[in-house]
Amino acid sequence: MISNTQNLILYLIEYASFNDFDGRIVTNDLRQHEHLWDAVTMQRDYAPLITLRDLPHDDFNVDCLYIITDEKRYHELQNIGLTWSPDDIDVIKGNEAKKLIGGCNPVLHPVLLRFWWD
C-alpha cells in the first residue's frame, strides 16, 4: 500500500513533466508496479535548491528520479524504467547506496535506481 506521503510525492512527479520526461506515464507505471519498489522521490541531482527557487513560479523543477528497491526486484523495475526514455540510468548498490540514504538496517541490502532526464 502506498503511503499518504508517497502519494504526495507521486503527484508532484506527475506534475513535473518536461522534455522527454512524462510524469503521468512514470507515475502510472510506478503505481501499477508498486510491489517492485519501497520508496520513490524526484529532485534536482546537482542543484537541489533550484527546485525551491522555482516553486513561486509553479514549477517543480526536478530532473532525477530515485527509487529504493532490492536485488530481487530492481532488474524488472529497471526494464520498466527504460520505457520512460531517461537520458541516464544508474544502479547504485552496497555501501554507496546505504551512504546515500543515510544508512540502514545492516540486514537489508538496498538498491537505488537513479533515472535522469536532461
Domain boundaries, the chain: 4-116
Q: What's the pLDDT band for 106 if we cut at 50, 70, 90? A: low
Q: According to the model, what pLDDT value does residue 11 have?
A: 96
**Residue owning grid cell 552496497:** 94
Q: Which residues contact 103 (CB under 8 A, 6 or more apart)?
A: none
pLDDT (tens digit, 9 = 90+) per residue, 39-86?
999 999 888 799 999 999 999 999 999 999 999 999 999 999 999 999
- How much is the pLDDT for 103? 76
Q: What confidence score (pLDDT) does residue 46 get?
A: 82
| CA 108 remoteness from chain centre | 19
CA dist., res. 45 & res. 89, Å (int): 13
Q: Please give the residue that has the higher pLDDT: either 46 or 20.
A: 20
